[in-house]
A and B are shown apart, each in its own frame.
Chain A
């Protein structure tokens, strides 16, 4: 504007008036909604009006209309990159959610309240490869964390980098977990992306699911498919076999043991460990404990709530206080959660008396409650556990 070509004051006044009127129109559109417009058009109008305001301020008040083109070039290239980037980014977050919320099974959950955590993470791709676990899983979180945080606190620090053969290594620290994975990834199937135990969750859940669906003798298959859980699942399966045979109640509803183990190993094992022992002081044990909870009055629902909505607050298990956070796993499918819970209740202990394996419908029913992690904690208090 140093060239002396100045906009006159009257132009400024007119621009200011228009800006004021547009602001009022925007206000009116929202305050007195017009039914004939519909929400789609209203949003379109609002966005269009704000763009008009934006452009007017930039053109007249910031003088880009008459000023050197270099400024316009710099600013509009910045605006262009910013708009493209963040419209793209926002779309990646909002669109999957919009698609998910139009699906019937989520409608009910949504109507139940604002606070349903899982609908947000629902997957477009369906078929078990759900979006959310991958998101969480792709962080190198677990492996690194267990090395960096746990290693110093672990009493036998040396063992964390004392490599043992993969088969028995599950309870070791992160370093060995990674090592184990080296084993897994080295072979053909090799999802290979993960230094962390949870990493491969999405893909592997999918793999496991199909594998399990195909045959129940995954135990033999597993060694070849080489996803790290496979040998574990096989072991687990064989270990349970006699127990399952003894228990008559289990026959009533059949559930997929291998799948339950796979879901557990992909999502829960990193903290609660493969043997369900947890890590004293950090992650509470499930073995010997989950069955007690199940047996308590209301315990069956509580367990489902805890996996669906998480748990936040201090709890005491076997005389030890845990004050960590259990994340919500509502983004997993109902059937996955049901099988994982069944696995937790049957893998290491005798089944609780009157055990009714969870089915997908049980989980779906609990889902509708839309609790917070704090609510679940409050609920635990009412169970009357020690």
Chain B
């Protein structure tokens, strides 16, 4: 068929109806879930490596000499509560309550930063006790596993802070909630990874 074609810039989103989609799932959210499914294998490999090398270190220090369960419990709790704030933040944005959205998002980022603070403290403490990535297999696998998790948390904090700053520059409305939602999904995923790490790395050591 012959047709007149013309084109113009994709200016505002409002000018055009959203393009046809064969499912109700927003593209970005679907992408995030697919990414998380993939990330399970990523952390699975790291945790698998840790477990495969558990109790195979030839020289100390060993996990039992170093782990401080009360401290780690507190940092686990902090991360769990940050997840809680995350859902509150999403809830607020969906209600178009920008004030609360900013408050809770700042709270999540803050709690995430506290968790990172705990991790830095823990790492320096371990380093003083003689554990390094060169010391033994425990050091190597532990630092890389929890370090990778820490990097994920850091990325999450940066992401949330960026969203927070963006909300001051561009207005954020309930219909933009999906962008917060995917950040939230990522954040919760980092949280559930920590739930696994807390059990199989820390707690099991003392049973």
Which A positions have Cβ atoms within 8 angstroms of B?
1-3, 6-7, 9, 12-13, 15-16, 19-20, 23-24, 26-27, 29-31, 33, 39, 42-43, 46-47, 49-50, 53-54, 57-58, 60-62, 68, 70-71, 74-75, 77-79, 81-83, 85-86, 89-90, 93-94, 97, 114-115, 117, 120, 372
Contacts and interface: CB of A to CB of B under 8 A. Distances in A.
B57 A54 contact: no
B96 interface: no
A155 to B, nearest CB: 35
Nearest to A15: B84
A50 B203 CA distance: 11
Interface string B19-61: 0000111100110011011101100110110011111111110
Interface of B: 23-26, 29-30, 33-34, 36-38, 40-41, 44-45, 47-48, 51-60, 62, 69-70, 73, 76-77, 80-81, 83-84, 86-88, 91, 94, 178, 181, 184-185, 188-189, 191-192, 195-196, 198-199, 203-204, 206-207
28 contacts: A1-B181, A2-B24, A6-B91, A6-B94, A12-B84, A12-B87, A20-B77, A24-B73, A26-B203, A29-B203, A30-B207, A31-B70, A33-B207, A46-B203, A50-B198, A53-B80, A61-B188, A62-B185, A62-B189, A68-B23, A70-B23, A71-B25, A77-B37, A78-B41, A81-B41, A82-B40, A90-B52, A115-B57
A42 B199 contact: no
A83 B37 CA distance: 12
B51 A93 contact: yes
A85 B44 contact: yes
A276 B98 CA distance: 78
Most buried by A among B34, B87, B188, B206: B87
Given A31-B70, A372-B59, A54 B192 contact: yes
Main SS at interface, chain B: helix
The residue among B40, B56, B57 with the most chain A CB atoms within 10 A of its own CB is B40
Nearest to B32: A71
A42 B33 CA distance: 33
A15 B184 CA distance: 16
A46 B25 contact: no
B86 to A, nearest CB: 7
Contacts of B62: 114
A119 to B, nearest CB: 10
Contacts of A90: 48, 51-52
Contacts of B40: 75, 78-79, 82
A20 B76 CA distance: 9
A294 B24 CA distance: 78
B56 A82 contact: no
A12 B188 contact: no
B51 A47 contact: no
Contacts of A50: 195-196, 198-199
Contact of B88 (A9, A71, A74, A82): A9
Contact of B196 (A13, A42, A54, A61): A54
Contact of A93 (B34, B52, B81): B52
A2 B180 CA distance: 13
Contacts of B25: 68, 70-71
B207 A46 contact: yes
A39 B206 CA distance: 9
B69 A57 contact: no
Contacts of A54: 192, 195-196
A247 B203 CA distance: 60
Contacts of B192: 53-54, 57-58
Closest 4 CB pairs of A and B: A78-B37, A16-B84, A82-B44, A93-B52
B143 to A, nearest CB: 19
Most chain A beta-carbon contacts within 10 A, residue among B30, B45, B60, B206:
B206
Given A71-B25, A71-B30, A79-B40, 11 more contacts: A27-B69, A50-B199, A53-B192, A61-B84, A62-B184, A62-B189, A85-B44, A90-B48, A94-B52, A115-B58, A120-B55
Contact of B45 (A16, A70, A86): A86
Contacts of A9: 88, 91
Contacts of A85: 41, 44, 48
A114 B57 contact: yes
A23 B80 contact: yes
B69 A74 contact: no
B76 A12 contact: no
A208 to B, nearest CB: 29
